[in-house]
Amino acid sequence: MKPATFIETDDPFEVANLAARGFDYDMEKIGLRFTFMFPACPELKQARKEFEEDEQFQEFVRCRKELGRRMWGSGNRRQHRKEQKL
């Protein structure tokens, strides 16, 4: 089997981390989603592993995602209540 020439991700936190480390990437937009493709290399695999194992950064990512869910969720509930009153 031929090894992958690109590694794809749609995680913006992972993309930011890898880009900050100097890895080049291509971006592809399909509909409303963005996919980022990094050229496959051993250094990239190591950087991705370090990203996954960085407990402090992963806690930050988890908190940001939870904050986003709460912000969007509460806004949606308020909007839903306004629509019900009409």
Give residue limits of the domains in the chain. Answer: 6-85
**pLDDT one-digit tens code per residue, 16-72:** 999 999 999 999 998 888 999 999 999 999 999 999 999 999 999 999 999 988 888
CA distance between the termini of the chain: 60
Indicate the pLDDT class of residue 83, thresholds 50, 70 and 90. Answer: low
pTM for the whole structure? 0.70
DSSP SS3 for 6: strand
* Gap between the Cα atoms of 70 and 67, Å rounded: 5
Q: Please name the residues in contact with 32: beta carbons below 8 A apart, sequence gap of 6 or more.
A: none
* Gap between the Cα atoms of 55 and 57, Å rounded: 6
